[in-house]
Structure 1
Amino acid sequence: MAVPVIVSLLDTDLYKFTMMQEILHHQPETQAEYGFKCRNVPDVPLAGFIAEIDAQLDQLCALRFAEDELAYLGGLRFIKSDFIDFLRLFQLQRHFITVSVPASDPDDIAITIKGPMLHCMLFEIYTLAIVNEVYFRHVDPAAALATGRERLTAKLALLREFAAEPAQCFPFIFYDFGTRRRFSRAWHEEVVATLAREAQPYFRGTSNVLLAMRHGLVPIGTMAHEYLQAFQAFGSRLRDFQRNALEHWVHEYRGDLGIALTDVVGTDAFLRDFDLYFCKLFDGLRHDSGDPYAWGEKALAHYRKMKIDPSAKQLVFSDGLDLPRAFALYRHFAGRAPTSFGIGTDLSNDCGAMPLQIVIKLLYCNGQPVAKVSDSPGKGMCEDVNFLNYLGDVFALP
């Protein structure tokens, strides 16, 4: 078999662990099903890589958490000791994930993850990283790395130019969010190590827990769409699922991890549920779809409506960013609210070849369909049209 893509179970995003801990404590019996989607057309059909993807998944499911990794995780103040005990016994189960060629498209792949949510949710980031790295091994590695290094050098030059601008009252801060879309594990680490060394004081951390541990960085992340989606099937009225999800989060983390994701059923519907209570309890909001300028203005207007000073809250942008876009957003909101920027593909996979736009999303929870609607056409995901229509009626979605 080729060189393993994943060699450590810590090589994933922090929010997988934070969501997993909440599920362990409050919904441990949950059953889930996830599906894969490639939103663009690859240069080389993905179906040709199935054998290697399967072999990489076999290797992944042989891994266990090492004691030094558990010690690092356990040292984060919001991670509880019983969760570490659970992870000490944890091992991904191969029979929960299947890869095949869909009948609808012989060039594509279908990936299904199905089983107990606690034992399935970690598959997402590892699997996306595997698909990416296996796919990009057909690219000339020397040429790709040369291009990547040249472009990374140009990004550092942009940062130096930006540093010459007049200082604002809030600092410019960005993070690496690139694990799921990276060109390769080795290149991702090179990028993060370079930024940690040469992009201070602007570069403040990474979503990747292993790289945070190795390079003395802050691990970044709170919740993803799957967490809020799961509450669509947790027994309460559908209309209340966002409030229930946020309430459970507050009880689990008691003031830590206070950035809420806004676009599971669209920002307008989210803000209708994000009342004064949640405005005070959460530190800020994260943008992941739709026009970021319009989103930020809505967020600031909502805080003002609630009689809360927006300068005390954080706006986190994480949708398709590069440094020029981040600079523009920073300037636009300068002086009104602190901002930060999670940059993914443009850092970890800017090596010349067209990146894959691949995702794995929660489709069913406890046998019921769930949906992500999003603020951007094409970013939503749901297999049940009737449920999608019902969700639209409940939340008055266009």
Structure 2
Amino acid sequence: MIVSSLLDTDLYKFSMMQVVLHQYPGAHAEYRFKCRNPGVNLVPYIDEIREELHALCSLRFTEDELSYLRQWRFIKSDFVDFLGLFQLNAKYIDIAPSPEDNGEIEIRIVGPWLHTILYEVPLLAIVNEVYFRNTAPDMDFTEGRRRLQAKIALLRDTPGYADCRIADYGTRRRFSRDWQKEVVTTLHQGLGAQLTGTSNVWLAREVGLRPLGTLAHEYLQAHQALGPRLRDSQVAALEAWAKEYRGDLGIALSDVYGLTAFLRDFDMYFCKLFDGTRHDSGDPFAWGERVLAHYEANRVDPRSKVLVFSDGLDIPKVMELYKHFHGRCQLAFGVGTNLTNDVGPTPLNIVIKMVRCNGQPVAKLSDSPGKNMCDDKAYIAYLRQVFDIPETAEI
């Protein structure tokens, strides 16, 4: 059984789920799976994935797990009570070979947002582990351990980087559950305070770390269907978040419509209200410079705000960004695949994204090409028009 606890997911799933329970309990969602690696054949593993899915759907939160969640100040007691009754239901998922007969598989999740939001992270972890236990069944982790120790030494022992800190963001694309646990445990032992935590709630509890996370793209995308009007959807999403958390979990995600559109909405009120912003697409250096300039233009001291970098990082890139921005703001770095799936075989670049909410298409117009999954070209054109995104801009 690959996933043996419903805590084995990223914290932002619980933080978003709580908002859904309190503010959008009737919302309906649709998610789609995509593997971005060319030539990967996942079809032979469909039966194993289904078997693991059914095992996932048999899980319930234990009383100890609920007590653990209840200790976090931003988790409301009624939400924990709801989780005590919660169970995933496989009726909301369909897994089948692609009709194009190209080795790809289609995973479609359709159902109430409240009852489908927890599928993404454990299901991606399942697909990864099923694939690698079949394609690399006798994996020797000697090389993976050597690489991990080299990363720890680089960050820990390079002069001038004692205050450079990272977090594990690698659950969705890990080689396996056991390997992620070994990685996080080793990082904790080797880096000490330079490891600030992990996005994985189960691992945070197991290893004695802080669980980290706020919100993901699906939350802002859903407001395209939930907000008062499309142009105000980003503002509505941020307002709803602030209403729920009253200052906690104050990191805003900046790339659902591109940085220019985000900064138009992220006015002085939000600059002062939120603790910082997270980068997840586009050039991180250019992004950081523009965000810091935006804070200054809105009479906010950038040194009081956090820039969170989380897009395809490795340790050398973390250190490069730290050197560039150190002293100008507070910094946080989330490293994912390069920590939890750097053992030899090429990692899978797989995602599950929300594509509809309440029957309406939703999309992300990111600052990096290839990250959009909406197949409704008319809706993409409409989004471009509403948010004044030129046709030449990559999505």
TM-score bracket for this pair, using the shorter chain length:
over 0.9
Q: Which runs of 5+ in 1 are unaligned?
A: none
Check conservation: 1:144, 1:353, Cα contact below 8 A: no
Q: Helix, strand or coil: the match of 1:35?
A: strand
Q: Which amino acid letter does the alignment assign opposite residue 396 of structure 1?
A: D
The Cα shift of 1:144 comes to 4.1
Q: Give the direction of change, closer, same or farther, for the CA distance of 1:230–1:263 in structure 2 (3 Å limit).
A: same
Q: Deviations over 1:211-253 (max 9, x none)?
A: 1011111100000000000000015110000000000000100
Counterpart of 1:86 (choices 82, 85, 88) is 82
Q: Which runs of 5+ in 2 are unaligned?
A: 391-395
Q: Helix, strand or coil: the match of 2:346?
A: coil
Check conservation: 2:303, 2:328, Cα contact below 8 A: yes
Q: Helix, strand or coil: the match of 2:107?
A: strand
Corresponding residue for residue 75 of structure 1:
71
Residue 133 (1) aligns with residue 125 (2): no
Determine the C-alpha separation between the residues in 2 that align with 1:21 and 1:57: 23
Corresponding residue for residue 272 of structure 1:
264
Determine the C-alpha separation between the residues in 2 that align with 1:235 and 1:280: 22
Check conservation: 1:191, 1:348, Cα contact below 8 A: yes
TM norm structure 1 = 0.96
Check conservation: 1:128, 1:180, Cα contact below 8 A: yes
Corresponding residue for residue 316 of structure 1:
308
Computed over aligned residues only, the root mean square deviation of the Cα atoms, in angstroms, reads 1.1
Determine the C-alpha separation between the residues in 1 that align with 2:76 and 2:298: 33
Q: Give the direction of change, closer, same or farther, for the CA distance of 1:397–1:105 in structure 2 (3 Å limit).
A: farther
Q: Deviations over 1:326-378 (max 9, x none)?
A: 00000001111111100000000001000010000000000100001110010
Q: Which amino acid letter does the alignment assign opposite residue 14 of structure 1?
A: L
Corresponding residue for residue 351 of structure 1:
343
Determine the C-alpha separation between the residues in 2 that align with 1:166 and 1:359: 32
Residue 156 (1) aligns with residue 148 (2): no
The Cα shift of 1:67 comes to 0.7
Corresponding residue for residue 118 of structure 2:
122
Aligned pairs, how many? 390
Corresponding residue for residue 13 of structure 2:
16
Q: Helix, strand or coil: the match of 2:192?
A: coil
Q: Which amino acid letter does the alignment assign opposite residue 299 of structure 2?
A: K
Q: Deviations over 1:148-181 (max 9, x none)?
A: 111111111212332x2376xxx31110000000
Q: Give the direction of change, closer, same or farther, for the CA distance of 1:307–1:240 in structure 2 (3 Å limit).
A: same
Q: Give the direction of change, closer, same or farther, for the CA distance of 1:166–1:198 in structure 2 (3 Å limit).
A: closer
Q: Deviations over 1:292-335 (max 9, x none)?
A: 00000010010011011100000000000000000000000111
Determine the C-alpha separation between the residues in 1 that align with 2:104 and 2:140: 24
Check conservation: 2:227, 2:233, Cα contact below 8 A: no
Residue 373 (1) aligns with residue 358 (2): no
The Cα shift of 1:141 comes to 4.8
Corresponding residue for residue 101 of structure 1:
97
The Cα shift of 1:383 comes to 2.0
Q: Helix, strand or coil: the match of 2:15?
A: helix
Percent identity between matched residues is: 59
Counterpart of 1:229 (choices 217, 221, 242) is 221
TM norm structure 2 = 0.97
Check conservation: 2:161, 2:319, Cα contact below 8 A: no
Determine the C-alpha separation between the residues in 2 that align with 1:66 and 1:219: 18
The Cα shift of 1:140 comes to 3.6
